[in-house]
Structure 1
Amino acid sequence: MAYYDEQLQLLQQQTMQKKRKESKLKELYTQHEVLSTRADELRKSKLDAQADVEHLEGRSLTAFFYAVIGKKDEKLNKEREEAYAARVKYDVIARELFAVEEDIRHNETELIQLRGCEQQYEKMLKDKADAIKAIGSQEAVKIFRTEERITYLENQMNEIKEALIAGETALSITNRILASLGSAEGWGTWDLLGGGLLTDMAKHGHLDEAQKQVEYLQVQLHRFKTELTDITIHADMQVSIDSFLCFADYFFDGLFADWAVLDKIKQSQTQVQNIKSQIESVLNRLTSMFNSVAKELEGEKAGLNDLIIRTNMKK
């Protein structure tokens, strides 16, 4: 009977995992559709911006006009900045799209391995129910229901734990971005005091690192959003989570041309701090949920032990 119960609990876990994978895939397919559309838009923007640069660098009438009025270098620099920003935005979305496609393949593979578990679970569940009816013991029914609840709570804890890990990873990336921006701000201040080429290079080196970490963060925010699928949270939290997915866009908008200016670096710090606060809010809610489920699980297990002891004593 013990082996029979273990198999039933295993199939129950697999059935819940299957439903979880299906929900994740639904969310991932939605993300993929949105990202694909956005990638097409940014690809076009990147090509258009690069074409503008090449147009000014070539033998066009526009290039001749700006050369005559003495503003060709100024106009060319602006176009190059816009082309660079467009390329970076496209690279970010391309990385996100690739990561989502990888997650889709991973979940589809795991879903194939879980095929048929629901039917097996239903059959074994019916067999167990019939066996309990034949015994006619109320204690056996209570034990059976309690074991079901324990398996459900354990699965729920695992889901929340996975979401917590994803969120904490995103949080650690925001800390790295803030550290890079803080260093860039320090070098920027020194640069204003006449630091020269070396301080300017150091400042931009930290800004490059911040840019790279923002790309990582955007991918991780999508994964955090996916892990939160089917986990019930407050409506205002859901709004915050949805805003995660636009982070890279507003972080990079209008930033490249003015990164040498300290107030732009400070503005970027504020943006990252805001997304960090949103992540922390969701993590706090998840931690509270995890502790609540853990407490209920502890109570159910204690109740199960009591049922088993009392049942054995009656025998």
Structure 2
Amino acid sequence: MTSYTPIDDDLRAARERARRLDRLTAQHRAVSVQIEEAGRLVADLEARLVEEEGDVSRLEKGGFAAFLSGLAGSRQDRLDRERAEAEAVRERLRGQRTRLQWLQSDLAALRGGLAELENARQEFDILLGHKERLLVGSDDPRGRELVEIARRLADTAADLREHEEARQAGIAAGHAIGQVLRCLGGARGASTWDLIGGGTIADMMEHGHLRRADEAAWHAQQALDVFARELADIGTHVTPAMPEVDTRWFADTFFDNIITDAIKHQRIARTGEAVAEMGRWVGETVEGLASRAAELAVRRDRLVARREEILAG
């Protein structure tokens, strides 16, 4: 049997470098999040300190604030308390600024480590590919398993890509439907006002919201059409249709009374419910796609791990 000792030694070293790269990448993400958090805390504490120092300054200068403080008790006691509160905020601010500096130093060190290992994953993949070709081209039984793994990996990667594309299309459709619901919500609010006597202004607002809802509904339908095509790619055939925005609302201006106002209000409510139902269907479908994509990602990772086990184990 062919000896693979030299390339196996290289693979072990390359795998360790790749794993170190993965660890540093994860740490880099974590520290970046911590820096964002610390930055927000510093900004909040700086604003808080300005307020606290302002309170102290007003009490020190006297005036109306000091007069009110005197009515509530000892002005000096209040001043001492405000100074203590300002100092407490100042201490917290110093602590968070120090923490932020530490985190930034950690991030710089991580970036240095990442720069040294920048090509570690590519180097490991190249060595894996080299050994894979050697095994596939030999009589080694591992070669046959590698061929099957490669086939399954290709299928899984394609399925995962198609599910992710469908999920993104669904998210876009959900956003478009949300815009329709917002317009209908505005129309419903104006319609409620119209019912209790909003008059011409309420009518104008209502009709404006409805025109925007009608336009948004066409955009949502376009997004749903794209979503349907992406779903067809993964074997799900649907023809989702947005509920129609009733253009008779605009003609109702000529017959404006409490009865027609109530009818318009009911139409808006029914349309809103139908649009919301479509939104729920999109949301549930997107969740299903995300779940399936997660399963495919697990399958892909297991295949990749098995391939690496064969080649570098």
Deviation sequence 1:185-219 (CA, Å, 0-9, x none): 11111122222222221111111111011000111
Alignment-derived partner of residue 8 in structure 1? none
Deviation sequence 1:225-267 (CA, Å, 0-9, x none): 111123145xxxx5xx32x14x35x444866656951111001
Alignment of 1:148 with 2:151, yes or no, is yes
Q: How does 1:86-125 map to 2 (within 5 A)?
A: none
Distance 1:251 1:274 in 2: 15
Deviation sequence 1:26-59 (CA, Å, 0-9, x none): xxxxxxxxxxxxxxxxxxxxxxxxxxxxxxxxxx
Distance 2:215 2:201 in 1: 21
Alignment of 1:170 with 2:173, yes or no, is yes
Alignment-derived partner of residue 218 in structure 1? 221
Alignment-derived partner of residue 210 in structure 2? 207
Q: How does 1:243-262 map to 2 (within 5 A)?
A: 244-245=240-241, 247-248=242-243, 250-252=244-246, 257=251, 261-262=264-265
Alignment-derived partner of residue 282 in structure 1? 285
Mark the CA change 1:133 to 1:152 in structure 2 (over 3 Å): closer, same or farther. Answer: closer
Distance 1:255 1:137 in 2: 75
Q: Secondary structure at the match of 1:158?
A: helix
Which of the residues 289, 294, 310 maps onto 1:291?
A: 294
Q: Secondary structure at the match of 1:194?
A: coil
Alignment-derived partner of residue 109 in structure 1? none
Alignment-derived partner of residue 265 in structure 1? 268
Query: Whose radius of gyration is greater, 1 or 2?
Result: 2
Distance 2:265 2:137 in 1: 78
Alignment-derived partner of residue 188 in structure 2? 185
Residue type at the aligned position of 1:135: S
* Higher RCO (C-alpha under 8 Å, 6+ residues apart): 1
Residue type at the aligned position of 1:284: E
Distance 1:269 1:185 in 2: 9
Distance 2:233 2:207 in 1: 42
Alignment of 1:228 with 2:231, yes or no, is yes
Contact 1:173–1:213 under 8 Å retained in 2: yes
Alignment-derived partner of residue 199 in structure 2? 196
Contact 1:251–1:271 under 8 Å retained in 2: no
Mark the CA change 1:256 to 1:138 in structure 2 (over 3 Å): closer, same or farther. Answer: farther
User: Shift of the alpha carbon at 1:131?
Assistant: 8.3
Moved more, 204-213 or 188-197: 188-197
% identical equivalent positions? 24
Q: How does 1:290-309 map to 2 (within 5 A)?
A: 290-309=293-312
Contact 1:170–1:221 under 8 Å retained in 2: yes
Distance 1:221 1:309 in 2: 46
**CA RMSD after TM alignment:** 2.5
Which 5+ residue runs of structure 1 have no aligned equivalent? 1-128, 311-315
Q: Secondary structure at the match of 1:187?
A: helix
Alignment-derived partner of residue 104 in structure 1? none
Q: Secondary structure at the match of 2:176?
A: helix
Distance 2:289 2:297 in 1: 12
Residue type at the aligned position of 2:178: N
Which 5+ residue runs of structure 2 have no aligned equivalent? 1-131, 253-259
- State TM-score, norm by structure 1: 0.50
Deviation sequence 1:106-143 (CA, Å, 0-9, x none): xxxxxxxxxxxxxxxxxxxxxxx998675111112222
Mark the CA change 1:307 to 1:159 in structure 2 (over 3 Å): closer, same or farther. Answer: same
User: Shift of the alpha carbon at 1:177?
Assistant: 0.9
User: Shift of the alpha carbon at 1:304?
Assistant: 0.9
Mark the CA change 1:288 to 1:143 in structure 2 (over 3 Å): closer, same or farther. Answer: same
Distance 2:193 2:246 in 1: 24
- State TM-score, norm by structure 2: 0.50
Which of the residues 152, 160, 163 maps onto 1:160?
A: 163
Distance 1:133 1:180 in 2: 61
Mark the CA change 1:208 to 1:137 in structure 2 (over 3 Å): closer, same or farther. Answer: same
Distance 2:247 2:290 in 1: 34
